[in-house]
A and B are shown apart, each in its own frame.
Chain A
């Protein structure tokens, strides 16, 4: 089983619908992240969390919200989806030990908003 699991892997929805992308991890990591990937733009940080009581906005948080339900679960919500939120979304996790730096990524959730 994957260490970082994202569901759903693919989703097509309509403008105005509420969408939730879920992420769960078995690595025991404290840090969890949501990134968005668009062709030619690389990965951009949406939100990140260092524990269940710590939520931080990233570079492009407008139009998104998150919930850290437990150490192992971090979900991303689009309250009212719009077409320019069509993208590939990645969840990632990392430890808090010094000088680790490595993030572990899920396989991505491809979202299409019509």
Chain B
């Protein structure tokens, strides 16, 4: 069975600071990996995804993530955080071709002006 761990429940950063949100997954083969963002009162929106190829993937809103097979990780990064990035972020894994996403428990990001 696939699983996702997001070790940080809540992170606070200052506006303009860099950000890294951690995600570790468990899956027997190479999974499909995703990061979603949920703004308050909204549904989830896809930030970026990894299927294969280049292990550094670029997403929307200036986010990027790096797949590290040896560490079973898919950490999300942003060089300079904006106040509008305050939201909850979910990492998700899909067994290739299964069409079933398993989500982590989420990391809530707060941004200090």
Residues of A within 8 A of B (CB): 4, 31, 35, 40-45, 48, 50, 58, 90, 92, 94, 96, 99, 101-103, 105-108
> Which partner residue on chain A sits nearest B45 by CB separation?
A105
A94 close to B99 (CB less than 8 A): yes
Instruction: State whether A101 touches B45 (Cβ < 8 A).
Output: no
- Contacts A40-B9, A45-B100, A94-B99; is A105 near B44 (CB within 8 Å)? yes
Write the nearest CB–CB distance from A27 to chain B, whole angstroms.
13
* Interchain CB contact under 8 A, A42 and B104: yes
**Chain B contact patch, size range:** 20 to 34
Q: How far is the CA of A103 from the CA of B103 in the complex (A)?
A: 12
* Pairs A–B under 8 Å by Cβ, sample size 22: A35-B103, A40-B106, A42-B90, A42-B105, A43-B90, A44-B103, A45-B101, A48-B99, A90-B44, A92-B43, A94-B99, A101-B34, A101-B94, A102-B34, A102-B46, A102-B49, A103-B101, A105-B43, A105-B45, A106-B43, A107-B41, A108-B43
9 smallest beta-carbon distances between A and B, as pairs: A105-B43, A42-B105, A43-B103, A42-B103, A105-B44, A102-B46, A107-B43, A99-B51, A101-B32
Enumerate chain B interface residues (CB-CB to A < 8 A): 9, 32, 34, 41-46, 49, 51, 90, 94, 99-106
**B21 CB, min distance to chain A CBs, angstroms:** 14
**CB <8 Å contact, A101 and B41:** no
The minimal Cβ–Cβ distance linking A37 to chain B, given in whole angstroms, is 9
**In the complex with contacts A90-B44, A101-B51, A31-B99 CB distance below 8 A:** yes
Residues of B within 8 A of A4 (CB): 43
Question: How close is B4's CB to chain A, nearest CB, in angstroms?
Answer: 8
Central interface residue in A48, A99, A101, by most chain B CB within 10 Å: A101
B residues in contact with A92, CB < 8 Å = 43-44
List 12 extra interface pairs beyond A105-B45, A108-B42, CB under 8 A: A40-B9, A40-B106, A42-B90, A42-B106, A44-B103, A45-B102, A92-B43, A92-B44, A101-B32, A101-B49, A102-B49, A103-B44
